[in-house]
Amino acid sequence: MGRVNNHSAAGVTALGWDVWNIRRDFPILKQKIHGKPLIYLDNAATAQKPHQVIEAVNRFYLEDCSNIHRGVHTLSERATKAYENAREKVRQFINAKSNKEIIFVRGATEAINLVAQAFGRTTVGAMDEIVLSSMEHHSNIVPWQMLCEEKGAHLRVIPMNEEGDLNLDKVNLPFNERTKLVALTHVSNAIGTINPIRKVIEAAHLRNIPVLIDGAQSAPHFRVDVQQLGCDFYVFSGHKLYGPTGVGVLYGKQSLLERMPPYQGGGDMIRSVTFEKTVFNELPYKFEAGTPNISGVTGLGAAIDYVHSVGLEQIEPYERSLTQYALEQLATYPWIRLIGRPRERVSVISFVVDGIHPHDVGTILDQEGIAIRTGHHCAQPVMEHFGLSATCRLSLAFYNTREEIDALVGALKKAREVFSNDGA
């Protein structure tokens, strides 16, 4: 498949990081799109899967396929073990206190909806307030809006400044006696900002307000320790962490989860059922009604193993240097405008090209084999803040290279050519 061997020294760092070796783990990266090598720069939408994950999912269906928590037969025992092992891997990954605090869901979106339903509906009342930030993904806005509508409650929004950092002065933290929850993203999916969430969590906890952190864009990039952060809920998706789609995690403090009613009813979440009364199962099963995504959870476990084998302590500096390189390259050209200059960021970069709509940029880059995201990134309030309807967004993973960023810049120049040749 034409593996490139004349790679740059930049791909192999002093730490022994060999990006070309890592790329071999991702079979999808070997393909061509429109005759050009695929350059995948849309990792914030979903990350590609290493063969270790693909094989784990395959192995489940080839060898262990069975339902969990019920059969006494060997397959069921194997499947149950793999499923519960994955829970333990997730617990260690985010350093939760107990496995009871790890609930498997479909993704970050479902985790937020679970909290909105099970926690929100029992806690939030008329005239109460939920605090969000202006850089939330729609998935951390809409469930709260629906809840507010039902309860007659209100949303309050922490503003963002010109650079794309949250304004966290005391006056901008709209906490009061009516605030029932803070729901805040750890990292902006549109512009890459890493929010100083500890500061917000501490301020909220002074008033005994629980805090939910949307970790969809943080879990893949740096070490997260929920106990150190002190957050009450933390949610993330497996597929952005090199795992399968359709599986995600809700972490919640045990004391809060104990108090919350179930989210959905069904099998597996019960202890006993009669037509008169159902006794619910204990944590975490109380929140996992029905047959879960067993292959997905197993795959997520394999993804966490894989990330450990690469090492977050290696991933973080490599992604940081790659991001720095991309920012420098893009800033070279006056016709490229970077959107947001946050103090701290991950490898998510939004930009616009003078005179070319992001959608047109996306189509032209695709012809060059380059996948980026164009549009509003499910964060329309962020777009509105910057006075735009859409941006181009590149988002890097640890398998991306400087050569790919060079190719991106080359393709952007080509887009300019396509758009400047008219009428000539």
Partner 1 sequence: MTELKQLYQETILDHNRAPRNFGRLEAPGLQRAEGFNPLCGDRLTVYLHLEKELIRSILFEGSGCAISKASASLMTATVKGRSIASTHELFEAFHRLITGAGTEQDGFVLGKLAVFSGVCDFPSRVKCASLPWHTLMAALKAKETPQPVVSTE
Q: Which residues of the chain form contacts with partner 1 (CB under 8 A)?
A: 356-360, 363-364, 367, 374-376, 380, 383, 389-390, 418-419, 421-423
Q: Which is nearer to partner 1, 174 or 375 (CB)?
A: 375
In the bound complex, what is the minimum distance in angstroms from residue 380's beta carbon to partner 1? Answer: 7
Q: CA-based angle 110:385:172, to the nearest 5?
A: 80
Q: Which residue, 184 or 365, is less far from partner 1 as judged by CB?
A: 365
Q: What's the closest the beta carbon of residue 18 comes to partner 1, in angstroms?
A: 34
Question: What residues pair up with 233 in beta bridges, in sequence order?
Answer: 212, 252
State the minimum distance, in angstroms, from the CB of residue 387 to partner 1.
11
Residue closer to partner 1, measured from CB, 45 or 310: 45
Q: 383 and 134 in contact (C-beta within 8 Å)?
A: no
Minimum CB–partner distance for residue 422 and partner 1 (Å): 3
For the bound state, the minimum distance from the C-beta of residue 135 to partner 1, rounded and expressed in Å, comes to: 17
Closest CB to partner 1 among 323 and 374?
374
Q: Is 148 a catalytic residue?
A: no
CB of 262 or CB of 381, closer to partner 1: 381
Q: Which of 65, 148, 231, 378 is catalytic?
A: 378
- Catalytic residue ranges: 378
